[in-house]
């Protein structure tokens, strides 16, 4: 089909899986990556752009193709402040999506978070909810939002607390009624993002928790 995909957040847990799967998918001829640092991946289909997200005006004209996959994000610890985390998790993703839509990209898939709610009192779930609502107004023909439970997979950084959390979640989600909160592997979320843009009709679609397992 010779499609062109765009990925931001391609060095993260989910984004790296999206990149790998797109490169292995023969439906895609070009995979463009926009990031602050190199992915370290070499592939004949890969078109890598090292950019400054604070100066999107300098490179937004390169955001052309068929589909945009957005998996950019950070933690409060990594960001250093809520303001900086908001910039990375909301502003960078929204501005990239807005530019891609204006450039004629027609499909968009975004990794959000379980519990995302623009009215939430919790900072993280509120900012995720605000982004989910904001991109709804963009001119993509298809928008899919995935809100996974706790993510499982090999991270580049060591997070012992998260490892313990995943272990405990696997135990407690065996309780009837809690299964939908079970951890999900990053590769499965990536697969869901890609499949959602192939399967979903025009419009805005949200997939919560265990719905992602079936995409």
Q: Is residue 69 part of a domain?
A: yes
**For residue 58, what are the domain limits?**
3-150+185-214
Q: Is residue 170 part of a domain?
A: no
% of the chain residues with pLDDT over 70: 86
Give me the mean pLDDT over the 8-37 stretch.
96
Residue 128 Cα to chain centre, angstroms: 11
Give me the mean pLDDT over the 8-31 stretch.
97
184-194 confidence digits (pLDDT tens) = 889 999 999 99
SS3 for the chain is CCEEEEEECCCCHHHHHHHHHHHHCCCEEEEEEEECCCCCCCCCCEEEEECCHHHHHHCHHHCCCCEEEECCCCCHHHHCCHHHHHHHHHHHHHHHHHHHHHCCCCEEEEECCCCCCCCCCCHHHHHHHHHHHHHCCCCCCEEEEEECCCEECCCCCCCHHHHHHHHHHHHHCCCCCCHHHCCEEHHHHHHHHHHHHHHCCCEEEEEEHHHHHHC
Give me the mean pLDDT over the 195-200 stretch.
97
Q: Is residue 72 part of a domain?
A: yes
User: What is the CATH classification number for the domain harbouring 9?
Assistant: 3.40.50.720
What is the number of domains present in the chain? 1
Which of 41-45, 180-184, 207-211 bottoms out in mean pLDDT, i.e. has the lowest?
Answer: 180-184
């Amino acid at each position: 089909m010779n499609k062109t995909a765009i990925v931001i957040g391609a060095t993260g847990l989910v984004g790296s899986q999206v990149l790998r799967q797109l490169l292995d998918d023969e439906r895609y001829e070009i995979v463009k990556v926009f990031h602050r640092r190199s992915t370290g991946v070499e592939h004949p289909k890969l078109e890598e752009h090292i950019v400054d997200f604070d100066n999107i005006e300098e490179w937004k004209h390169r955001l052309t193709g068929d589909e945009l996959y957005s998996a950019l994000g950070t933690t409060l610890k990594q960001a250093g402040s809520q303001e900086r985390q908001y910039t990375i998790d909301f502003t960078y993703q929204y501005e990239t999506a807005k530019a891609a839509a204006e450039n004629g990209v027609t499909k968009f898939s975004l990794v959000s978070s379980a519990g995302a709610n623009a009215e939430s009192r919790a900072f993280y779930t509120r900012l995720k909810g605000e982004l989910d609502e904001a991109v709804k107004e963009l001119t993509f023909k298809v928008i899919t939002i995935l809100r996974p439970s706790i993510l499982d997979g090999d991270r580049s950084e060591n997070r012992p607390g998260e490892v313990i959390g995943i272990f405990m979640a696997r135990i407690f989600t065996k309780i009837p009624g809690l299964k939908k909160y079970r951890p999900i592997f990053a590769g499965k979320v990536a697969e869901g993002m890609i499949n959602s843009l192939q399967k979903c009709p025009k419009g805005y679609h949200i997939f919560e928790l265990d719905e992602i397992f079936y995409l």
